[in-house]
Amino acid sequence: MKALRTTTAAFSSFLKPSSTFSLAAAFQHHKIAHVPRISLTSSKQNTFRFMTTASNDTPSSSSSSTPPPPPPPKFDAEMAHLYQRVAENHYHENGPWNLMLKAFQDSNSQLEEQDPSFRLLDLASGHGEPCTLFAKTYPNAHLISTDFSNDMVELAKERTQHLSNVSVEQADMQDLRFESNSLDVITCSYGFMFPPDKDKAIAEAYRVLKPGGVLIATTWNQLPLMALVGDIMTKVLKLDQRPPPPPLNPMSLSEPHLFESMLEQGGFEVMTSTTSSYPFVLASDHDFSFKMVTMLIKDKLNELNEWDTARDAYNSLINHYAFVDADGNTVIDDNVFKLTVAKKPVMM
């Protein structure tokens, strides 16, 4: 399990697949009937980076004896804006944020009754969700929206400036500045898939939560868009099978029970784990839909100067993955996510 986790967290390159790990799991739910098997070499280091990392985003290491982990690849400004458009879909009633709020209310109503000024930390908050939704629902609570990317932090500041109970700051979820046992709730929507050291991120969440505190997180189980991206890269790289996914891989925790077992190994008690799905409405503008789909591979396409091939591939593949709705929007359906609620046990 440990080796598997290391490998899923550190796909080294789109260019040189060679190894013992099957990517079948990462692609197991998408619409294509046959699942290619690709092998990778397990490595702690990403030898290839798709995203640049600004120096002021480099996290500090909390340990002087071990070398610091490589900085996570970054959601840059262009991605932040594209992601904001994609994220409009997440407001769906069956989307992550509504269901996270409901899970909190179901599992933690006592906390709210006892202490309306509870402290909630939102990790990998992006442009500020689900922090903003919780802040509006619980005006007496104290909420902190955090993200690794300064560009995302700026968007979150803009979106929450009218909310007096929210503060926004830059933070790497692998290395939090918060005191141990200081927070009542941690939320994290679509974030735990991205840090290179996911165990460290879980350990940090555990550390800063109070005993009895609750972690509510969503992770992707099935994302047809990633299969489409894989097919586009297969054509761009002229391969006969899908290459490994990019380092910023939303599917890195899609293996059944993987996230739950990582949480349990980190000391959490998993209370519930449920799945739900909703459609992604991309755009009626064909070019904009293409940009949204290729968001995670844009640096690679720039490096290879292969935008034309990618566009041709997208044009030939999109109907396989998407349909056009009555308003002319390209829609990708069957996006399945997992909502996990876990508790830091109260030690006796």
Ligand X SMILES: C[S@@+](CC[C@H](N)C(=O)[O-])C[C@H]1O[C@@H](n2cnc3c(N)ncnc32)[C@H](O)[C@@H]1O
Identity of the residue, 87 or 313, whose beta carbon is nearer to ligand X in the bound complex = 87
Which of 118-126, 277-285, 297-305, 334-342 is the region at the interface with ligand X (rule: CB under 6 A)?
118-126
Number of residues counted as binding ligand X (CB under 6 A): 23
> Where does the chain have alpha helices with state H?
2-9, 77-87, 96-114, 131-137, 150-160, 198-208, 224-236, 258-265, 286-293, 298-304, 307-321
Burial class (CB in 10 A: 0-12, 13-18, 19+), 200: middle
In which residue are the tokens 């109907």 written? 319
- Sorted by sequence, the CB contacts under 8 Å of residue 214 that are 6+ apart come out as 104, 107, 108, 111, 184, 185, 186, 271, 341, 342, 343, 344
189 binds ligand X (CB under 6 A): yes
User: At closest approach, how far in Å is the CB of 240 from ligand X?
Assistant: 31
**Taking Cα atoms as reference points, which of 254, 190, 197, 191 lies closest to residue 10?**
197
CB distance 77 to 173 below 8 Å: no
Distances (CA, A) of 8 to 34, 252, 273: 21, 6, 21
Binding pattern to ligand X, positions 53-72, x when CB under 6 A? Answer: -------------------x
Kindly tell me which residue out of 26, 38, 126, 202 binds ligand X, with binding defined by CB under 6 A.
Answer: 126
Q: Which residue is nearest to ligand X (CB)?
A: 126
Which of 30-38, 191-199, 222-230, 324-332 is the region at the interface with ligand X (rule: CB under 6 A)?
191-199
User: At closest approach, how far in Å is the CB of 109 from ligand X?
Assistant: 23
Query: Which pairs count as long-range contacts for 137-144, CB under 8 Å and 24+ apart, including other chains?
Result: 137/101, 138/112, 138/165, 139/165, 140/116, 140/165, 141/116, 141/117, 141/165, 142/117, 142/118, 142/167, 143/119, 143/167, 144/119, 144/120, 144/168, 144/169
335 binds ligand X (CB under 6 A): no
User: At closest approach, how far in Å is the CB of 161 from ligand X?
Assistant: 18
Identity of the residue, 152 or 205, whose beta carbon is nearer to ligand X in the bound complex = 152
Compute the distance between CA of residue 242 and CA of residue 75 in angstroms, rounded to an integer: 24
User: At closest approach, how far in Å is the CB of 150 from ligand X?
Assistant: 9
Which of 48-56, 124-132, 269-277, 332-340 is the region at the interface with ligand X (rule: CB under 6 A)?
124-132
Plot region of 285 (φ>0 → left; ψ -120 to 50 → alpha; else → beta)? beta
CB distance 272 to 340 below 8 Å: yes
**Residue 229: both structure tokens together:** 């991206």
Kindly tell me which residue out of 108, 125, 221, 340 binds ligand X, with binding defined by CB under 6 A.
Answer: 125
Kindly tell me which residue out of 108, 132, 149, 294 binds ligand X, with binding defined by CB under 6 A.
Answer: 149
Identity of the residue, 129 or 184, whose beta carbon is nearer to ligand X in the bound complex = 129
Identity of the residue, 174 or 252, whose beta carbon is nearer to ligand X in the bound complex = 174
User: At closest approach, how far in Å is the CB of 113 from ligand X?
Assistant: 27
User: At closest approach, how far in Å is the CB of 324 from ligand X?
Assistant: 25
Which of 30-38, 143-151, 222-230, 263-271 is the region at the interface with ligand X (rule: CB under 6 A)?
143-151
Identity of the residue, 38 or 121, whose beta carbon is nearer to ligand X in the bound complex = 121
Which of 103-111, 123-131, 157-165, 281-289 is the region at the interface with ligand X (rule: CB under 6 A)?
123-131
List contacts with ligand X (CB under 6 A).
Answer: 72, 75, 83, 87, 90, 96, 123-126, 129, 147-149, 152, 172-174, 189-191, 194-195
